[in-house]
Amino acid sequence: MKLDILKSLNEERRARRAAVLVTDLSSGAQRLVKAAEIAADPMAEAIDKQLRMGKSASVDIEGKTYFLTVQAPPARLVVIGAVHVSQALAEMARLVDFDVTIVDPRTAFASEERFPNVRVIAEWPDKVLPEIGLDPYTGIAALTHDPKIDDPALKLALQASCFYIGALGSKKTHAKRVERLTAAGFSQEQIGRIHAPIGLDIGAVSPAEIAVSVLSEIVLSLRRKPLRSEKEKAA
């Protein structure tokens, strides 16, 4: 591998852009196809398919074997609400290699003492989320119960096609939320992307158990549904 290809690969990853490295396994020849360049590539179909599945693989094209190294951006998790469940969720999600950020405008909650190992931002979601830059490789869990804080985050997450959007609250709470989002112009299909009540039904009781249920649902969303390619996002 040429050092400049490795450099580009690392740069694309840092910029949270997908890229696919194409290696001709017989000759060793390589090229890097960035997300924006896929459509124009002669191997577009195969590259797009692998990127969609988020899986590197060997493919045979016209009698040659190529290896496609798929590099999708690392998954991020933004948790709205620096609450008790979030403390457990932050630690667990970190172990599962999510890049975790906690957002809560209430400074008493959003302190580094309560969240020693992850990024904590004491700000309103509608101010800070555009700065973070939501994308299809970001998941959002809204855990405050407070529409003033959760709703703006959910709206931005829906617009950004986040791979996971979950919101804490009972069915009754969620019904009211659906009304508010409908009034704000979101379609039934869009609103249907919100996981609520949040988490897989594992009978969780304690905050840590609820965190397990939420994190399981997040991993399920990430792995079962193929991530949208940048191409799709742009379309």
Binding site for another protein (CB under 8 A): 1-3, 6-7, 9-10, 13, 23, 25, 28, 55-58, 67, 69-71, 74, 97
In the complex with another protein, the residue whose CB is nearer, 6 or 175, is 6
Determine the Cα angle at 168 with ends 202 and 179, to 5°.
125
Closest CA to 128 of 109, 105, 108: 105
For helices 125-132 and 147-159, angle between their N-to-C axes, nearest 10 degrees: 30
Backbone dihedral angles phi then psi of residue 118, each to the nearest 5 degrees: -130, 170
Least distance between another protein and beta carbon 70 (Å): 6
Closest CA to 59 of 23, 34, 19, 9: 23
In the complex with another protein, the residue whose CB is nearer, 72 or 194, is 72
DSSP readout, 201-230? -S---SHHHHHHHHHHHHHHHHHHSPPPPH
Least distance between another protein and beta carbon 175 (Å): 40
In the complex with another protein, the residue whose CB is nearer, 1 or 175, is 1
In the complex with another protein, the residue whose CB is nearer, 97 or 189, is 97
The dihedral over CA atoms of 31, 37, 40, 43, expressed in degrees to the nearest 10, equals 40
Least distance between another protein and beta carbon 205 (Å): 29
Least distance between another protein and beta carbon 59 (Å): 11
In the complex with another protein, the residue whose CB is nearer, 109 or 163, is 163
Q: Say whether the peptide bond before residue 197 is cis (omega within 30 degrees of 0).
A: yes
Read off the tokens for 32.
């890097």
The amino acid at residue 33 is: V
Least distance between another protein and beta carbon 49 (Å): 14
Least distance between another protein and beta carbon 25 (Å): 6
In the complex with another protein, the residue whose CB is nearer, 2 or 225, is 2
What are the distances in angstroms from CA 143 to CA 80, 151, 178, 214? Answer: 6, 11, 16, 10
Q: Which residues pair with 16 in a beta bridge?
A: none
In the complex with another protein, the residue whose CB is nearer, 3 or 183, is 3
Least distance between another protein and beta carbon 133 (Å): 17
